[in-house]
Amino acid sequence: MSSELMAKKKHLEALIQAWPSAFVAYSGGVDSSFLLWTAHQIHGSKVVGILGDSPSLPRSEHNSALNFAKSYNLNVQILQTHELEDPSYSSNPSNRCFFCRSELFQQMERLAQTRGVAVLAYGENADDAKEVRAGRIAAGQFKVVAPLREAELTKSEIRSLARDANLEIAEKPASPCLSSRLAPGLPVTTQRLAAIEKAEDIIRNEGFRIVRVRHFGEKAFVQVSPDETPRLNDSLLQAKLTPAITAVGFRYVEFDAVGYQGAGLR
C-alpha cells in the first residue's frame, strides 16, 4: 500500500472514529459495503447499515447485500422505501435520483431521531464528487456525511483497500438500480421494473456477468460487457433469448453489437 493511500485510509478511520453512533446507507455495492465494514471494525454494533428496499432494487442485489453483511456480522436493517409513489420520481425526470435519495434519507433521519443515532452517512467517493449528482443535493439537505469523499478516496483506491482486507466485494461490478434502465421520460412502474429484472436474470442465467436491459417501451435493448458481447452476438443464442425476453413483457428485442461502454469495475 502506498504512503498516500495509507494516509487516506487513516483519514477515513479518523473521521469514522469521531462518530458516537451512525446509520450508513447500504446498497451492497463496493463503496457502501467498504464504508459499513470499516465503520463496523471501529464501532461494532453502534453502526447499522440501512438497506433501502423497493421494486427498483433487484432481488439478486438485495440478497447479495444481506449475504455480505451476514459474512462479516454487520448490523443491517431493511427499510421499505416508497419512491415509486412519488410522481416526482415515477415520472422519470433527469433528477430522479434526488427523490429516491430523499426518500431514503428522510426515513433514515426519522429512525435516527427515534433511536438517538448521531450520524447519517453514505458511500459517495472522490470520483463521484467530480460529477453532478442529484443524490449529493439530497444528502446535503439531510446532513448526510460522505467520509469516503472527505478522505479523498477514489473508486479504484476503495477497491484496493477492499482487496487488501480480502473482501469479496472488491471486484464486484457496479449495479445501478433498475430504474436507470428506463428510457428518459418513460414512467417508472413496478411492471416495467419487473420486466427488466426478469429479462436480466434470463441473460445472466446464460453465464453473462455484466448485464443491462434497457427499456424503451415495447423494445428491450440488451447489453453486456464488450468482452462478453461476441458470445451474445451468436445467432443461436439470440434465437433462444428473444422469445424468453418477449415473454416477460417486451414486444421486440435488440442486441447491442458493441457492448455496454460503462461496463467494468467502475
Give 21-33 pLDDT, tens digit per residue.
999 999 999 999 9
The confidence score (pLDDT) of residue 263 equals: 44
Unique residue bearing C-alpha cell 433501502: 52
The confidence score (pLDDT) of residue 111 equals: 97
pLDDT tens for 2-27 read 999 999 999 999 999 999 999 999 99
Work out the mean pLDDT of the chain and round it to a whole number. Answer: 94
Q: How confident is the model at residue 262 (pLDDT cuts 50, 70, 90)?
A: low
pLDDT tens for 54-73 read 999 999 999 999 999 999 99
Instruction: Give the pLDDT mean for 196-201.
Output: 98
pLDDT tens for 150-172 read 999 999 999 999 999 999 999 99
* Backbone Cα Rg of the chain: 19
Higher model confidence: residue 190 or residue 139? 190
Q: What are phi and psi of 69, to 5 degrees?
A: -60, -40
> What cell was used for 199?
429479462
Going by DSSP bridges, is the β-strand pair 219-224/211-216 parallel, antiparallel, or unpaired? antiparallel
CA 113 to chain centre: 26
Number of helices (H) and strands (E), helices first, in the chain? 11, 7
CATH architecture of the domain with range 3-171: 3-Layer(aba) Sandwich (3.40)
Domain with CATH 3.30.70 in the chain: 178-255
- Domain 178-255 listed as CATH 3.90.1200: no
Give dist(CA 35, CA 128) in Å, integer.
Answer: 15
Give dist(CA 47, CA 19) in Å, integer.
Answer: 9
Percent of the chain clearing pLDDT 70 (strictly above): 98
Instruction: Give the pLDDT mean for 83-110.
Output: 95
Pick the closest to residue 177 from 167, 192, 162 (CA basis). Answer: 192
The confidence score (pLDDT) of residue 151 equals: 97
**pLDDT higher than 90, residue 129:** no
Percent of the chain clearing pLDDT 90 (strictly above): 89
The confidence score (pLDDT) of residue 265 equals: 37
pLDDT tens for 201-249 read 999 999 999 999 999 999 999 999 999 999 999 999 999 999 999 999 9
Domain with CATH 3.40.50.620 in the chain: 3-171
**pLDDT higher than 90, residue 189:** yes
The confidence score (pLDDT) of residue 136 equals: 86
> What cell was used for 72?
462479516
